[in-house]
Amino acid sequence: MLVTRSYEREKALLYAERYAFSQNPIFGNFRGIGGNCTNFVSQCVYAGSCKMNYTKTFGWYYISLDERAPAWTGVEYFYNFLIGNEGVGPFGKEASRDECEVGDVIQLGREKDGYYHTLLIVGFEDEDILVAAQTDDAFRRPLSSYNYDMARFIKILGVRFEAPSSIDCFESVYQGLGIAEGVAEE
């Protein structure tokens, strides 16, 4: 049976603040081989959800550089996973700009090439959204400073688990110690 709990937006924000300008040693880096933006945002969303989906090909997980789901690092795959996920892990919907909160996701695109960049919302200032990103490392960078043709907003609605978690993985992933998901309670 799947149970749903809230996405912990503050933990996603804390993770983004800590690692926007550095690399967490438990995750690989994709700079120079396609960019690190979606990998970084996946890490932030994981810090706020503490649940991966280990479904081969269509899930959302990271074990190593060579053992990860396409959705962990690919812009379109990440979008498809979050919007379509009906299993364990975080899930969301495409939303309007006004529906978004800290911890939600923005993807930028060009008419000719499609969506190419993933950002995490970390705040708001006047009429602008402030984001965190990697590849072009940023924290609290105004969305208005980016050059793009289109943007889509992904509101994370919650996180599904097989059973309630008894271990908080945040400290483990935040400290760069390892990936430690909760175990089902008996």
pLDDT in tens, 153-168: 999 999 999 864 455 6
pLDDT at 30: 67
On whether residue 11 sits in a domain, the answer given is yes
Task: Say what percent of the chain tops pLDDT 90.
Answer: 78
Residue 185's pLDDT band, with cuts at 50, 70 and 90, is very low
pTM of the entire predicted model: 0.87
On whether residue 116 sits in a domain, the answer given is yes
On whether residue 184 sits in a domain, the answer given is no
Cβ atoms of 48 and 11 within 8 Å: the answer is: yes
User: How many domains does the chain fold into?
Assistant: 1
114, pLDDT greater than 90: yes
On whether residue 113 sits in a domain, the answer given is yes
On whether residue 182 sits in a domain, the answer given is no
On whether residue 181 sits in a domain, the answer given is no
* Per-residue model confidence as pLDDT tens digits over 16-72: 999 999 999 999 786 666 668 999 999 999 999 999 999 999 999 999 989 999 999
On whether residue 162 sits in a domain, the answer given is yes
183, pLDDT greater than 90: no
On whether residue 127 sits in a domain, the answer given is yes
Quote the domain boundaries for residue 45: 3-174
